[in-house]
Amino acid sequence: MLRKIHSIGLAILETKPILLSSLYTVSKKLSNISVGKEDMEELQKNPYYSKYAGKIEQMKKNSPSVFEEKLKQTEEIRKEAEKRTDFSVPSTTPKSNLTQQFYKEKKLEEILKIDLLKEKSSVDIGLIWNSFYSGKDGVVTAMIPKDKYTLIKERSSKYPIVSLALF
């Protein structure tokens, strides 16, 4: 009987199906239920073969249709196991840049009317900007000098994940 453990993708077989699972190398066309020399050698490599050789031969002689059916079942189990992926192995494909996926960078002209701010000083513009965003939830605003901003931008492209402590 076959018992499957889906959470980790394993199949546990009881004693007889384990023996028959090594027989999947037997010719797929089972017109006669005889096992070829190469197939017997492959079967004998199974560590449990010596223990269950008599039972395998007895099953082939007594009920060839059941033997053939078990061979087909074990073949399907092998194919299914080959299709599964190993989730413990890390992916080799590089992850795409998340910041580019979620939003498109907007230009300042799209957010703010720049011609109204041309006569204002940088301090006044900072106060307008902070007062506008202070009423919104989930927004952090700050006035940062240009040289500090370029440094932050360079580092953010190099290290995309940041822990920011807010006091």
Same domain, 79 and 34: yes
Q: Is residue 89 domain-resident?
A: no
In a domain, 46, yes or no: yes
Q: Is 53 exposed, middle or buried (0-12, 13-18, 19+ CB in 10 A)?
A: middle
- pLDDT tens across 32-71, in order? 444 445 556 666 777 887 888 888 888 888 887 887 787 6
Average pLDDT for 104-128:
83
Mean pLDDT (the chain) is: 70
Do 49 and 116 fall into the same domain?
no
Q: What range defines the domain where residue 142 resides?
A: 107-158
- For 93, the 3-state DSSP assignment is coil
Residue with tokens 């720049």, as numbered in its chain: 114
The two tokens of residue 66 are 């059941």
The reported pTM is 0.30
Task: Give the residue-averaged pLDDT of 104-125.
Answer: 82
Assigned domain for 167 exists? no
**In the listed set 67, 83, 99, which residue is the last one of a domain according to the structure?**
83
Residue 22, pLDDT > 50, answer no
Overall number of domains in the chain = 2
User: How confident is the model at residue 91, as a pLDDT?
Assistant: 64
Q: What's phi and psi for 107, nearest 5 deg?
A: -80, 155
Candidate ranges 85-89, 99-103, 116-120, 159-163; pick with highest mean pLDDT: 116-120
Residue with the larger pLDDT of the pair 116 and 85: 116
| Residue 79 and residue 7 in one domain | yes
Q: 11-15, 99-103, 112-116, 119-123: lowest mean pLDDT where?
A: 11-15
Pair (79, 44) in one structural domain:
yes
Are 118 and 69 in the same domain? no
In a domain, 93, yes or no: no
Residue 128 sits in the same domain as residue 74: no
Statement: residue 121 has pLDDT above 80: yes
Give per-residue burial for 81-114: e unless 16+ CB within 10 Å, then b: eeeeeeeeeeeeeeeeeeeeeeeeeeeeeeeeee
